[in-house]
Amino acid sequence: MNKSTQSRSNDAAFSMDDFAKALEQHDYQFAKGQIVQGRVFSYESGGALIDIGGKSPAFLPTQEASVREISDVSAVLPTDEDRDFLIIREQDENGQVTLSLRQLEIKKVWDSLADMQANDQSVQVRVTGTNKGGVTVDLQGLRGFIPRSHLVERENLDALKGQTLTATFLEADRDRNKLVLSNRLAARAANFSQLQVGQLIEGKVASLKPFGAFVEFDGSTGLLHINQISKNYIASLPSLLQVGQMIKAMIVDLDEGRGRISLSTKVLENFPGEMTENMAQVMEEAESRSDRARSNL
């Protein structure tokens, strides 16, 4: 062997040895909680191997591939796509770390929900189950709960399974993974957005109380206080109104925070006591009278 050939052989041997030692001695500093970028190396039973630039491919279990329940990682993670992953388990004896996409997605969902809650936005949820206290719902992959008292439909909960409901936030605690929502308040807010003071409504008397009548209309309930029925004193409310009776009234106050809609018929009277003397005429002329009444509100 001449000197030139021997020199090339020594250089090659040195380079290979040096490269091997460099791999062994290099500390990749992969730690739990770290976000790394990687790409699918291969699909395996129970998950996928991800190339993150380490000595060994990292492992992504199927249950950590999505916030949704899936059975095939390839359905959500193609081979030609770089993604961010969260390290949830540090290197084992083979130098392999365990990754999660699900927990990164959960963090993004919570960040999004925090913004929605801060802006009083409503959300769409899908009912996934029921119990005696209310219904469980899916919100962008997170599990939430709507108490029975905060449902519009409170009787037949089983009929709600699979349905999509509009809801607002009652409690969103990221640290405790607790998400409590209200369908009733969302419905009320939606109804309030369609109402305005001075609007004439037509509804059905739902119940009579000593202080007035509750009137249901267009999915909302307003209070026609006894002092708002007529400019004259009303001695007996049941002698004037009956449950199930249709009546027209004007909205005179809206309190969305307390969920209160105040109604009045006395603003439609041409003279004090007309509601007790000739309610039929007041109701018949309610539309034309409401223009005049509206200008006085």
Residue 181 included in any domain: yes
Same domain for 287 and 243: yes
Residues 185 and 201 occupy one common structural domain = no
Same domain for 242 and 274? yes
Looking at residue 8, its pLDDT comes to: 47
Residue 15, pLDDT score: 58
> 130 and 70, same structural domain?
no
In a domain, 217, yes or no: yes
- Count the domains in the chain: 3
Judge whether 151 lies within some domain: yes
| β-bridge mates for residue 83, sequence order | 38
Boundary residue ending a domain (154, 189, 224): 189
Boundary (domain end) residue, out of 165, 189, 213: 189
Same-domain pairing of 237 and 255: yes
Instruction: Name the residue type at position 80.
Output: D
Say if residues 84 and 104 touch (Cβ distance below 8 Å): yes
Asked whether the whole model's pTM tops 0.75, one would answer no
The helix/strand/coil state of 211 is coil
Same domain, 58 and 7: yes
Can you give the residue range of the structural domain that contains 168? 120-189
Which residue matches tokens 């034309």?
288
pLDDT in tens, the chain (297 residues): 554 445 444 444 455 555 555 545 444 578 899 999 999 999 998 999 999 988 889 999 999 999 888 889 998 899 888 999 999 998 888 889 999 999 999 999 999 999 999 988 999 999 999 998 999 999 999 999 999 999 998 889 999 999 999 999 999 999 999 999 999 889 888 888 889 999 999 999 999 999 999 999 987 899 999 999 999 999 899 999 999 999 999 999 998 878 899 999 999 999 999 999 999 999 999 999 998 888 877
Pair (202, 182) in one structural domain: no
CATH number of domain containing 153: 2.40.50.140
Checking 152-157 for CB contacts under 8 A at 24+ apart, the result is 152/183, 152/184, 152/187, 157/130
Q: Examine the domain organization and report whether 241 and 257 are in the same domain.
A: yes
- Nearest C-alpha neighbor of 155 from the set 137, 170, 127, 135: 135
Same domain, 174 and 200: no
Instruction: Give domain status of residue 182, yes or no.
Output: yes
Task: Evaluate whether residue 112 is within a structural domain.
Answer: no
User: From residue 277, how far is each of 22, 226, 230, 240, 269 by CA, in Å?
Assistant: 101, 16, 10, 10, 11
Whether residues 201 and 183 fall in one domain: no
Residues 178 and 222 in one domain: no
What lies within 8 Å, CB to CB, of 273 at 6+ separation is 230, 231, 232
- Domain-embedded: residue 109: no
Write down which residue in 189, 213, 245 finishes a domain.
Answer: 189
pLDDT for the residue 17: 59
169 with 262, same domain?
no
| Residue 140 within a domain | yes
Residue 113 counted as domain residue: no
